[in-house]
Amino acid sequence: MLCTRRRITAQNRARAAELLDRVGLTHVADRYPAELPFGLHKRLDLARALAEEPELLILDEPFGGLDAVSAPCWRGRSCRNSDVEPPS
């Protein structure tokens, strides 16, 4: 599901599993991206962006596709993984 490089090594698989766990997608790791609902697809997009280990990640409405219960949780989680304080 999460592949950013052509050659897949054991290290790449481990990193993909780590990222899928980080965004809460381990339960659907065996599915194709097209099979995922919109909200889960947004999480996959985030995992793909994190896979490249960017110094700066700019997100345009990253929580727009999430339901009202999940959005605040993900907003807080993403800020905890950075040096930025979550919005109040």
Amino acid symbol at 6: R
Task: Report the alpha-carbon distance of residue 75 to residue 84 in Å, rounded.
Answer: 11
**pTM (global) more than 0.85:** no
47/16 Cα distance (integer angstroms)? 8
pLDDT of residue 37: 87
Half-sphere exposure of 1 (CA within 13 A, CB side): 26
Question: Per-block average pLDDT, block size 10, for the chain (88 residues)?
Answer: 65 87 87 87 83 80 68 63 51
Tokens 């950013």 locate to 4
Which pLDDT score, from 0 to 100, does residue 57 have?
Answer: 77
